[in-house]
């Protein structure tokens, strides 16, 4: 399934198209703006614009925007173009493997993520502990050195770039990345995206051209809701558009009931109830999807507990509860059955409540 089309951001799009036409597109870009505003989607659109081969056939088509019809366009929007390298934060389940093995694991995790996004193009934000670790940086450097497989360009999109974490002992790779940002190979454009530009290293910020994405108008978000999500009820559209606050990503997230924070609250509520309710709740967890919804629920739980710890009170118990949730989280990454984990965790939290 292709990803939904890009909505909004017309001003930036026409500036980018103009920059490409005049050969002045910066090779290192940082797209910044609120979470869910469409930064990575814009990065993919830019890749499509650079790689599109359908233009120039008829004069009236020469708008500079991608045609959407040619093979390159279709490959980009189905996340299969070999010259588009989309790096998203990943969480590796096997730690401690040697460097080469780590690199394979990252490549595998990224490929899995892209497969998931092809099947369900309205993807979810990465979990709180996912990052661009040193293996991701090494993989990126390796791919930078490749010649384009199909087109004239390679495009790298690095989502949530604030999660590029410098690591001790990996200075060489970190420096190589800085150098690549400063002077990428001639055929390469690197697009970083972030909702927290202040969390990026100054050495990185100084090497990219910063482009700020503003929130979309509600009217644009509403059209997306109707056309792409097929929402019919005017009231539902109005409510969800208002909650989205100009960010289509937020609009998408609001359509998934029972995930993240809401599920965490439901879980905490059962922890104060009897054993039967706890067991019923555990059984309601999907058995085979440990990495998705269940991990998200645990993240929501961690957030609540951390808030509680900040407010003070029975800090010892809260710290203990956080430790239990982190244990469960690690086991979930190792693909232990979420029903079992939920049952054990609910009992542990009930004891601490």
The residues binding Zn ion (CB under 5 A) are 52, 54, 66-67, 70, 73
Rg (CA), the chain: 22
Q: How far is the CB of 51 from Zn ion (least distance, A)?
A: 8
The CB-of-67 to Zn ion minimum distance in angstroms stands at: 4
Checking DSSP bridges between strand 154-158 and strand 84-87, what pairing results, if any? parallel
Tokens of 133: 């670790």
**Tokens matching residue 270:** 């059962």
Nearer to Zn ion, 52 or 139 (CB): 52
Which CB atom, from 61 or from 120, has the smaller least distance to Zn ion? 61
Residues forming beta bridges with residue 190, ordered by sequence position: 28, 156
Q: Please, are residues 313 and 352 in contact by the beta-carbon 8 Å criterion? A: no
- Cβ closest to Zn ion, residue 61 vs residue 272: 61
CA distances from 110 to 106, 122, 170, 254 (A): 6, 16, 21, 25
**Nearer of residues 157 and 264 to Zn ion, judged by Cβ:** 157
- Please choose, from the candidates 76, 43, 72, the residue with its C-alpha nearest in 3D space to the C-alpha of residue 55: 72
Closest approach of Zn ion to the CB of residue 74, in Å: 8
Four-residue CA torsion sign, 192, 197, 200, 202: positive
> Which residue lies nearer to Zn ion by CB, 67 or 137?
67
Tell me whether residue 20 or residue 266 sits nearer to Zn ion (CB atom): 20
CA dist 22 and 11 (Å) reads 17
Task: Say if residues 6 and 248 touch (Cβ distance below 8 Å).
Answer: no
Q: Considering the complex, what minimum distance in angstroms separates the CB of residue 28 from Zn ion? A: 24
Q: How far is the CB of 54 from Zn ion (least distance, A)?
A: 4
- Shortest separation between residue 5's beta carbon and Zn ion, angstroms: 13
Report d(CA 214, CA 190) in Å as an integer. Answer: 21
Measured CA to CA, the distance from residue 258 to residue 183 in angstroms comes to: 45
Cβ 118 to Zn ion shortest distance, Å: 19
Confirm if 254 and 124 have CB atoms less than 8 A apart.
Answer: no
Whichever of 38 and 66 has its CB closer to Zn ion, that residue is: 66
């Amino acid at each position: 399934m292709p990803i939904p089309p890009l909505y909004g951001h017309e001003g930036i799009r026409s500036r980018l198209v103009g920059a490409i036409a005049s050969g002045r597109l910066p090779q290192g870009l940082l797209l910044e703006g609120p979470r869910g505003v469409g930064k990575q989607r814009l990065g993919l659109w830019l890749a499509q614009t650079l790689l599109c081969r359908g233009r120039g056939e008829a004069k009236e088509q020469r708008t500079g925007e991608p045609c959407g019809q040619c093979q390159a366009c279709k490959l980009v929007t189905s996340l299969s173009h070999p010259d588009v390298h989309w790096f998203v934060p990943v969480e590796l389940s096997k730690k401690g493997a040697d460097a080469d093995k780590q690199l394979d694991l990252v490549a595998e995790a990224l490929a899995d993520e892209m497969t998931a996004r092809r099947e369900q193009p309205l993807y979810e934000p990465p979990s709180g502990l996912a990052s661009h670790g040193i293996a991701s940086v090494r993989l990126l450097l390796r791919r930078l050195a490749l010649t384009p497989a199909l087109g004239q360009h390679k495009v790298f999109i690095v989502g949530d770039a604030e999660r590029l974490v410098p690591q001790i002992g990996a200075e060489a790779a970190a420096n190589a990345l800085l150098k690549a940002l400063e002077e990428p190979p001639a055929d390469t454009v690197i697009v970083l995206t972030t909702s927290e530009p202040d969390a990026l290293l100054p050495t990185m910020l100084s090497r990219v051209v910063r482009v700020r994405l503003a929130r979309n108008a509600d009217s644009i978000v509403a059209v997306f809701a109707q056309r792409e999500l097929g929402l019919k009820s005017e009231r539902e559209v109005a409510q969800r558009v208002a909650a989205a606050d100009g960010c289509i990503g937020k609009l998408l997230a609001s359509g998934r009931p029972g995930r993240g924070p809401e599920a965490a609250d439901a879980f905490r509520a059962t922890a104060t109830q009897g054993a039967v309710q706890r067991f019923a709740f555990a059984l309601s967890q999907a058995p085979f999807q440990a990495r998705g919804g269940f991990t998200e629920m645990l993240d929501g739980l961690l957030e609540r507990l951390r808030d509680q710890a900040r407010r003070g009170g029975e800090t010892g118990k809260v710290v203990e509860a956080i430790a239990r949730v982190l244990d469960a989280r690690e086991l979930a990454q190792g693909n232990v059955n979420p029903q079992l984990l939920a049952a054990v965790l609910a009992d542990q939290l009930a004891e601490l409540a």
